[in-house]
Amino acid sequence: MARRPLIAGNWKMNLGRQDAGDLASTLAAGPLPTEVDAAVFPPALWLAGVADLLSDSRIETGAQNCSEYPRGALTGELAADQIAEIASLVIVGHSERRQRLGETDEVVRAKLDAALRAGLTPILCVGETLEIRQQPDAYVPFVIRQVESALSHRPAREVASVIIAYEPIWAIGTGVAATPDDAQEMCAAIRAAVDQLAAGAGEEIRILYGGSVNPGNARALLTQPDVDGALVGGASLVADDFRAVITAAAGAI
Ligand code: PGA
């Protein structure tokens, strides 16, 4: 079965309550091509409100992070099963958290485990720094190690249900997206590695590209055979731009 494209909007630590509600309402009011899945990831404070506003639309909601620990005495954290009461997805291991908040591969793996236990669909983010990208033999193995570290212990059926987002760190928020060929090269390598881990899962798993995706470059990226969608930051904060990326995904099928 063909993989359904997914366009995911990561709002990061942006938008006040009113703006988040307005954006969600605008997105809910617009048409969405039936052949594309879409999701938004608001700041946790606005997650419940945004989920309510989108409840009659086909746009799903997700959290930007979850705790690796079960519910309990852990000030300031959000347990995966709490998120699951409101949302269906969760981003795990975004590079901003890995780099700026010290999330290691071990932590990311534990968060992915917690998300799956709670019935959430994790979007596992992986990607290399510019320094690693500049070493021709290093960048693919680096990213594959991140994928293996997060998924190697899970059964095949669960591996296939995870979504992976390849987000080169040098492309995030820089306006310099990876070329379609670079995105394809890495997404194909990730798919092959997933299939090694869990036979058959490679064909099924959805792999997104993220990093400076916008209405202008989306189509070229999304027509690549191993790019199944996009994780969009900046451009997801503007309803028309986010919709244009969704439309590009529909046109790229
Ligand atoms: P960007 O962010 O589209 O603003 O580059 C992507 C991301 O970090 O998910």
71 Cα to the center of ligand 1, angstroms: 29
Residue whose CA is at the smallest distance from ligand 1 atom 1: 233
Angle at 132 between CA 131 and CA 138, to 5 degrees: 150
Distance 237 CA to ligand 1 centre (A): 11
Q: Could you report the per-residue pLDDT of 155-181, keeping only the tens digit for each? A: 999 999 999 999 999 999 999 999 999
User: Which residue among 13, 232, 241 has the greatest number of ligand 1 atoms within 8 angstroms of its CB, and so is best to mutate?
Assistant: 232
| 232 contact partners, CB below 8 Å, separation of at least 6 | 7, 8, 9, 10, 210, 213, 214, 242, 245
For residue 2, pLDDT beyond 90: no
Across the chain, mean pLDDT equals 97
The pocket around ligand 1, CB under 6 angstroms, is made up of 10, 167, 172-173, 210-213, 231-235
Residue with tokens 């048409």: 31
**Res. 1: pLDDT tops 80:** no
Write out pLDDT tens, residues 120-166.
999 999 999 999 999 999 999 999 999 999 999 999 999 999 999 99
Atom of ligand 1 nearest to the CA of 96: 8
Q: What is the per-residue burial (b if ≥16 Cβ within 10 Å, else e) of 192-231?
A: ebbbebbeebbebbbbbbbbbbbbebbbbbbebebbbbbb
HSE-CB at 46 with a 13 A cutoff on CA atoms is: 23
Q: Whose CA is nearest to atom 9 of ligand 1?
A: 233
Closest ligand 1 atom to residue 172 Cα is: 5
For residue 50, pLDDT over 70 is answered with yes
Query: Tens of pLDDT along 216-231?
Result: 999 999 999 999 999 9
Instruction: Calculate how far, in angstroms, residue 69's C-alpha sits from the geometric centre of ligand 1.
Output: 27
d(CA 100, CA 83): 23
pTM for this predicted structure: 0.97
Each residue's pLDDT tens digit, 13-33: 999 999 999 999 999 999 899
Q: Which residues are catalytic?
A: 94, 167
